[in-house]
Structure 1
Amino acid sequence: MNSIDVISMGLRNMWRRKTRTILTVLGVIIGTSSIVIMLSLGIAMNENFKKEVESMGSLNIIEVSRNYGMREGGSTKEVKLDDKAIAKIGAIEGVEAVTPLEFTYWKFGAGKYVGHVSVIGIDTKVMDKFNFEIEEGRLLDESDTNAVVFGSYIPEMFYNPKSSYYYDSSSSVKLISDKLIMTMNMDYGERRSRQSSSNTEKLPEYKVKGVGILKQSAGETDYNAYMNIKYLKKIQEESNRARSRNSRGWDYGESSSDSYNNAMVKVKDINNVKEVQEKIKDMGFNAFSLTDILESMQKTSASIQAILGGIGAVSLLVAALGITNTMIMSIYERTREIGVMKVLGAELGSIRRLFLFEAGLIGFMGGILGIGFSLAVSLILNKAGLSLGNFFGYMGEGSKVSVIPLWLMLASVAFATLIGLVSGYYPARRAMKLSALEAIKTE
């Protein structure tokens, strides 16, 4: 028998016993859909974890800080995060950009409004590499010195100290067009008595200009302003010297112009973040990225997926036993037919292929229909889950209860077909071993 004969006979045999075939296929549908739906819940959980972490910041960015417990060469000298170290980090394979960071806190004045703002110094040459998105104006560039880019919520931090309703008019602040003053004098612009004004610190005031406002990110960038790190360190040192003079010799300290406490690293490929992170740690620095949190979440998700997949696999195992039972029963009913085929010269391989084809076809049809049923259930779960999530407020935008990717659909159909072939192997072997004469005598 050629392949066309095998397919034709297999389809006719299954159609003759269509009720039993349908019931067997139904078992495979239930088994396939059970394992797909269970796995889809775990996959959705994993994707929701990833979206939640990504909302906190970029997964490609590593935060670097000095390790104060580390010593260089066994001596008592701490490993410095200086320009030389920054360049060494930038030379690591896979690193797209690196910038030192300087965290400071300043008082801003904009006309009659004032605000307390956290200002971060950054390397302006690479600011565009760190996923800053501009809402108004532009990002910092290499030529900027006293320019400032503000987070989206910074305008709301300004208030009128002479008004009894401090925050009512903050929307009137135009940080890009208004003339801005920046100082470490926290009493700047505040109402005060003559006695308190005589004790006010005489600290420098710097004219700066706002050049951009960032898009809202739901992260810490919304509450920070950004400046050229070299200019920021310069005016910070000047302000610290002035404060030391005003404080009767109290030393506020000066930071080294090429030494930093923190840095930020952008990795080209998210898959290389862990490797780059380990290399930075080997240099003697602390390194943290959001992939650390994601990795912990994914381990939890993998455990849950394994449990859910195991539950679904039980249903598929039952379906496999159903296929085996169907094929064995088919042998008993077709014993005489098998004997006639052998007498007429049918090869044993052809008989085996016939039974394997029928078993595999049951698995394939069950897998295809199981995927269709799974997609319908997944749609219902997502609609119901979204409604409940919106009602209780615990599901974020774009979150899903069930996700069935293409690879899972293809893998499920292939697995169901394989289950059918494996289940039909024993009955096929049994059909091959039947004695032709004994089979013909069977009524």
Structure 2
Amino acid sequence: MNASDLITTAVSQTFRSKVRTTLTILAIFVGAFTLTLTNGLGTGINNYIDDTVSSIGAEDVMTVTKPSSEGLPDPTAPVEYDPNAIAAGGAGIPGATVVAIDADDLDTLEGIDGVLRVEPTISITPDYIQYDGGTQYVTGAGSLIPGQTMQLAAGSEPDDGSDVLELALPEALVEPLGFDDAEAAVGQTVEIGITDAERQQHVIEATVSGVTEPSFSGPTITVAPNQALTDALSAAQNTGVPAADQNLYAQASVWFDPDATTEDIDALKDRLEDAGYSGTTVADQLGTFTAIIDGIVLVLNAFAVIALLAASFGIVNTLYMSVQDRTREIGLMKAMGMGSGRVFTLFSLEAVFIGFLGSAIGAGIAMLVGAGVSSVAGAALPDLPGLTLIAFDPVSIATVILIVMGIAFLAGTLPAARAARADPVDSLRYE
């Protein structure tokens, strides 16, 4: 009996006891269904992170600050004033600051081994945004982190290489400002009010180059100016500020080798720390969030594995009963010259085929359910455009099926070994 005959025979014998085999396949189906669905959940959420949140910066850029030697203050205790400190937005903690980065710091950073380029991050605090003399709305101005890409509902990103003052308008401000839709806002001129150090308000006009979709990666009412508009707003905001205080920054962006390994990046962080700075990459910012998602998926996968282990006992029982029912048949096959190895292979193939059926059906139905859940989630979470809650990676699905088939094979080894050891004379005498 050649390999193709073994496979054909194993498949045909699988449903010799239809009820028993069907129940075993259903048990495998539960585990495979759960495993596929939970993996799809992790894939979907992590893909959304990659597509939206990961676009907050390039992988070869590090955000550098100069932390205070005291760290975060005790919110219940008074904090000593530091004239060189800049507010760090410490989640409402009074005195949460970093030491200002000045021109000397920028030179120091450029001299650190592994640093290719340094640029300060300019902080702008506009008062309002307005269109055509209409209602004035409070807004923020978030300069693009190097390497950032936007999720656009219409138009294009502001051009940093252009002398035209441009900005990307958040979708949340489209209708309040008086535009019919995102497309109608593109190309229009808006006014931004900003107050200087002398308490004088300046009004600067800018063109809307595009409209950004909402996401959880940042505030939904923050405009994104290009470099020309950033410079204009910064110049207006710094009117009346002493020249010595104008070039102080809360943070800077540091470029390093895009081919740097994790060890290289960690070594650069250590060198920055030795120099009195703190560096954070995009991976660091996303690490905690993705770790939580992966942890949840891992726990859910554990339940699926438990279901598969329970199903494996069903495979053992099914094949043991099959060996028992086919004792005389096994004796006849061995009497006709089939070796123990081929008998073992025959029953092992039956186990693998049962595992394949259960896992393939489970994965297929999980994909259908996942598509339905993702569709409902998309309608229920309009503030997260582009989210596919449950996404399926062909490699992951194939891996799940192979894992289940492997478990089925291992579960089938005991009854297959029993069949392989059967004595043909005793088997033919069996009643």
Query: How far is 1:271 from its partner?
Result: 9.2
Query: How far is 1:104 from its partner?
Result: 5.2
Q: Distance in 1 between matches of 2:407 and 2:128?
A: 70
Q: Which runs of 5+ in 1 are unaligned?
A: 71-76, 157-166, 190-206, 241-251
Residues 1:334 and 2:302 aligned together: no
- Counting aligned pairs with the same residue, the percent is 20
Change (3 A) 1:135 1:273: farther
Query: How far is 1:336 from its partner?
Result: 1.2
Q: Distance in 1 between matches of 2:277 and 2:200?
A: 37
Residues 1:399 and 2:387 aligned together: yes
Structure 1 match to 2:199: 186
Query: How far is 1:255 from its partner?
Result: 3.9
Residues 1:216 and 2:212 aligned together: yes
Query: How far is 1:234 from its partner?
Result: 8.4
Change (3 A) 1:323 1:301: same
Structure 1 match to 2:252: 263
Query: How far is 1:50 from its partner?
Result: 5.3
Query: How far is 1:268 from its partner?
Result: 8.0
Letter matched to residue 254 of structure 1: A
Q: Indicate which of 110, 122, 139 corresponds to 1:87.
A: 110
Structure 2 match to 1:100: 120
Change (3 A) 1:308 1:233: closer
Query: How far is 1:330 from its partner?
Result: 1.0
Q: How many residues end up aligned between the 2 structures?
A: 381
**Could you tell me whether the CA contact under 8 Å between 1:82 and 1:260 is conserved in 2?**
no
Q: Distance in 1 between matches of 2:35 and 2:178?
A: 57
SS at match of 1:103: coil
SS at match of 1:222: strand
Structure 2 match to 1:152: 169
Task: Render the CA deviation track for 1:272-327: whole Å, top value 9, x for unaligned.
Answer: 68964762443432233554342112222222112211111222112111111111
Structure 2 match to 1:197: none
Query: How far is 1:335 from its partner?
Result: 1.0
SS at match of 1:254: helix
**Could you tell me whether the CA contact under 8 Å between 2:58 and 2:146 is conserved in 1?**
no
**Could you tell me whether the CA contact under 8 Å between 1:33 and 1:374 is conserved in 2?**
yes
Query: How far is 1:121 from its partner?
Result: 9.3
Q: Which runs of 5+ in 2 are unaligned?
A: 71-98
Structure 1 match to 2:88: none
Task: Render the CA deviation track for 1:89-120: whole Å, top value 9, x for unaligned.
Answer: 6x737x6x64223335689999x989999889
Task: Render the CA deviation track for 1:193-247: whole Å, top value 9, x for unaligned.
Answer: xxxxxxxxxxxxxx9985875643654661657449999988888843xxxxxxx
Residues 1:360 and 2:352 aligned together: yes
Q: Distance in 2 between matches of 1:129 and 1:59?
A: 4
Change (3 A) 1:101 1:412: closer
SS at match of 1:396: coil
Structure 2 match to 1:37: 37
Residues 1:66 and 2:60 aligned together: no
Structure 2 match to 1:295: 287
SS at match of 1:345: coil
Q: Distance in 1 between matches of 2:12 and 2:26?
A: 19
Query: How far is 1:40 from its partner?
Result: 2.9
Larger radius of gyration between Structure 1 and Structure 2: 1
Residues 1:25 and 2:38 aligned together: no
Query: How far is 1:31 from its partner?
Result: 2.3
Change (3 A) 1:228 1:350: same
**Could you tell me whether the CA contact under 8 Å between 2:37 and 2:390 is conserved in 1?**
yes
SS at match of 2:386: coil
Q: Distance in 1 between matches of 2:42 and 2:327?
A: 46
TM-score normalised by the chain length of structure 1: 0.67
Change (3 A) 1:102 1:314: closer
TM-score normalised by the chain length of structure 2: 0.68
**Could you tell me whether the CA contact under 8 Å between 2:141 and 2:224 is conserved in 1?**
no
SS at match of 1:64: strand
Q: Distance in 2 between matches of 1:298 and 1:415?
A: 24
Q: Indicate which of 415, 427, 430 corresponds to 1:439.
A: 427
Structure 2 match to 1:4: 4
SS at match of 1:16: coil
SS at match of 2:169: coil
- The two structures, once aligned, show a CA RMSD in angstroms of 4.9
Query: How far is 1:176 from its partner?
Result: 6.6
**Could you tell me whether the CA contact under 8 Å between 1:62 and 1:277 is conserved in 2?**
no
Change (3 A) 1:348 1:273: closer
